[in-house]
């Protein structure tokens, strides 16, 4: 697998308690990743041969500013790798503070930000701080992506673009992300706020395309809400090296089934064949919601791996062929 981005979650700490948060009660609990651990995992990810970017997420990674700088500096100095961080901009209290903070990160290779702006984050962070962050990033020529989590009645991305006085351009992109009823959102947001699609949705799935390491050293190979559950853990870097984790994950029937383009539909079908699908909901808000619900049920992951073991080689081959076709298609687009 050609992972190009390593995501590092330095800790579960966060200054906010957003009602949309996927981590729920895990926020501000659990271990922190040390600088030494993070740098070692950058080394191991680089050794895989395709690494192009190091990302920092949370929680709120700017709570670990000194650690983030140290790891970004290591990635930049040793391998020439740029970095990216996700943030709610709590730290951008003034325009001067924002520029000083981002400037210190720019000096060690940070070139991009993922900025949260929506009804849920703005219950905790004044919008002016987001504006300060975007202005400072523009002056430093850092790329920014606005991420707006939305529900049925929440304000949408266009509202926030207008409120911030910004528009999409060369260094600013933006996207809406449907809220998923996982973590705090499952209990703090009314169920009527989540549009339900009957059956198991066939949404796009990032399984085996993302490489994320959690504070406790666990490796997750997707970036959707479902990765907050233990069933999608590929291994732990405290007990084995990253190359060994990746090699085993490449053959995992659940991971390959999810990566084949129809999300958890294959899993639901396998459960139905075994007569174990009675717990499925009539509909889900997204494929990530369905994946989280299916794999969060005790024993289901074990049952599925046993059920799909005879298909292990077939699923692996289908996924690798699909990866090759996608890679060639992307190469052709780049030539154009």
Within this chain, do residues 185 and 261 fall inside the same structural domain, yes or no?
no
Within this chain, do residues 146 and 258 fall inside the same structural domain, yes or no?
no
Domain-located, residue 214? no
pLDDT in tens, 9-67: 999 999 999 999 999 888 888 899 999 999 999 999 999 999 999 999 989 999 999 99
Within this chain, do residues 259 and 191 fall inside the same structural domain, yes or no?
no
Residue 68 and residue 39 in contact, taking contact as beta carbons nearer than 8 Å: no
**Of how many residues is the chain composed?**
336
Return the CATH number at 119.
Answer: 3.20.20.70
Within this chain, do residues 169 and 42 fall inside the same structural domain, yes or no?
yes
pLDDT at 201 over 70: yes
Domain-located, residue 52? yes
Within this chain, do residues 189 and 257 fall inside the same structural domain, yes or no?
no
Q: Which of 89, 103, 173 is nearest to 141 (CA)?
A: 103
Domain-located, residue 299? yes
pLDDT exceeding 70 applies to what percent of the chain? 96
Q: Is the peptide bond before 59 cis (omega within 30 degrees of 0)?
A: yes
pLDDT in tens, 261-312: 778 998 999 999 989 899 999 999 999 999 999 999 999 999 999 999 999 9
Domain count, the chain: 2
Sign of the CA dihedral with 73 first, then 79, 82, and 84 last: negative
Domain end (from 174, 195, 216): 195
Q: Which of 6, 5, 73 is nearest to 35 (CA)?
A: 73
By DSSP bridging, strand 233-236 and strand 197-198 are: unpaired
Q: Which of 292, 294, 175 is nearest to 225 (CA)?
A: 292
Domain-located, residue 227? no
Structural domain range at position 328:
253-335
Contacts of 110 (CB under 8 A, 6+ apart): 72, 82, 83, 84, 85, 102, 142
Q: Helix or strand or coil: residue 144? A: strand
């Amino acid at each position: 697998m050609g992972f190009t981005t390593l995501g590092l979650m330095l800790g579960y700490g966060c200054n906010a308690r957003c009602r949309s948060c996927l981590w729920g009660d895990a926020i501000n609990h659990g271990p922190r990743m040390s600088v030494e651990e993070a740098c070692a995992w950058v080394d191991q990810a680089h050794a895989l041969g395709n690494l192009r970017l190091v990302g920092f997420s949370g929680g709120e990674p700017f709570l670990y500013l000194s650690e983030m700088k140290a790891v970004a500096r290591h990635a930049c100095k040793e391998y020439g790798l740029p970095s990216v961080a996700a943030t709610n901009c709590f730290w951008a209290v003034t325009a001067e503070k924002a520029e000083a903070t981002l400037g210190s990160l720019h000096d060690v290779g940070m070139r991009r930000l993922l900025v949260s702006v929506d009804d849920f984050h703005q219950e905790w962070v004044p919008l002016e701080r987001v504006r300060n962050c975007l202005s400072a990033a523009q002056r430093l020529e850092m790329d920014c992506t606005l991420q707006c989590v939305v529900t049925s009645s929440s304000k949408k991305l266009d509202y926030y673009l207008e409120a911030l006085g910004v528009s999409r351009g060369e260094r600013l992109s933006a996207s809406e992300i449907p809220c998923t009823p996982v973590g705090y959102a499952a209990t703090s947001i009314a169920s009527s706020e989540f549009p339900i699609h009957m059956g198991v949705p066939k949404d796009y799935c990032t399984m085996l395309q993302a490489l994320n390491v959690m504070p406790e050293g666990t490796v997750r190979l997707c970036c959707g809400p479902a990765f907050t559950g233990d069933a999608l853990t590929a291994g732990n870097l405290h007990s084995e090296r990253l190359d060994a984790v990746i090699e085993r994950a490449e053959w995992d029937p659940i991971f390959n089934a999810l990566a084949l383009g129809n999300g958890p539909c294959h899993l639901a079908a396998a459960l139905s064949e075994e007569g174990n699908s009675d717990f499925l909901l009539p509909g889900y808000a997204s494929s990530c919601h369905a994946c989280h619900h299916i794999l969060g049920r005790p024993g289901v992951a074990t049952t599925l791996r046993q059920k799909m073991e005879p298909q292990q080689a077939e699923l692996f081959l289908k996924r690798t062929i699909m990866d090759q076709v996608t890679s060639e298609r992307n190469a052709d687009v780049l030539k154009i």
